[in-house]
């Protein structure tokens, strides 16, 4: 499975692609990466590309990180025939299907009709969801977690609960309620 995650906005954008390489195909994949890097250099806005090998016990995938000056320039690369040809050649060295997931500035919370939601609108909706969540959790967890729990652990627990609440409960509802506004 291939995953691509990237940020949004007018700043330089970095895409991260991860692959499972078939056993014994590492050298061929590395050579394919060099072809990929050479091809990237022909595209406007290209900044850099790096290949990271798997790390035993931490990460099973090989990861490619590549950056462009803008999202538009990255999109030209992603839609280019040159990229398609290289990926077709690399497919024989990959284990599993290639799937692409594109994620904006705040993860997958803001995929409205495949349009890029303005960053300031994303921030406003996140703030709208985060502020009451943090207030409620501080009150609730402050009563549940004993004072003897170290501060850093307390903060970690609060963050884990608030991120979970935002991801699965609050943000899906807020993005549905404000979908028309986010589209504008």
Determine the pLDDT at residue 132: 92
- Which secondary structure element, helix H or strand E, spans residue 120, and what is its range? helix 119-144
Tokens matching residue 171: 């943000």
Please report, for the chain, the start and end positions of each structural domain, with discontinuous segments joined by +: 3-93, 109-183
Q: How far from 61 is each of 2, 16, 17, CA to CA, in Å?
A: 9, 11, 9
- Give the DSSP letter string of 49-91: EEEE--BTTTB-SEEEEEEESSHHHHHHHHT-HHHHHHHHHHG
Tens-digit pLDDT profile for residues 82-128: 988 988 888 888 887 654 444 444 545 665 444 567 778 888 998 89
Summarize pLDDT for 164-175 with one digit per residue, the tens. 888 778 888 888
User: What's the pLDDT score for residue 101?
Assistant: 42
CATH number of 3-93: 3.30.70.100
55: which strand partners? 59
């Amino acid at each position: 499975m291939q995953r691509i995650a990237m940020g949004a906005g007018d700043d330089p954008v970095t895409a991260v692609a991860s692959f499972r390489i078939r056993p014994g195909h590492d050298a061929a994949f590395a050579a394919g990466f060099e072809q990929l890097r050479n091809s990237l250099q022909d595209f406007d806005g290209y900044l850099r590309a790096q290949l990271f090998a798997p790390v035993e016990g931490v990460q099973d995938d090989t990861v490619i990180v590549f950056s462009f000056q803008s999202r538009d320039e990255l999109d030209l690369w992603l839609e280019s025939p040159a990229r398609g040809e290289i990926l077709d050649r690399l497919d024989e060295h990959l284990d599993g299907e290639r799937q692409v997931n594109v994620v904006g500035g705040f993860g997958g919370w803001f995929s409205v009709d495949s349009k890029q939601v303005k960053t300031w609108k994303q921030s406003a909706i996140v703030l709208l969801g985060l502020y009451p969540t943090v207030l409620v959790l501080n009150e609730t967890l402050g009563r549940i977690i004993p004072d003897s729990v170290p501060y850093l652990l307390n903060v970690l627990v609060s963050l884990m609960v608030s991120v979970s609440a935002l991801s699965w409960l609050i943000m899906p509802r807020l993005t549905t309620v404000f979908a028309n506004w986010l589209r504008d």
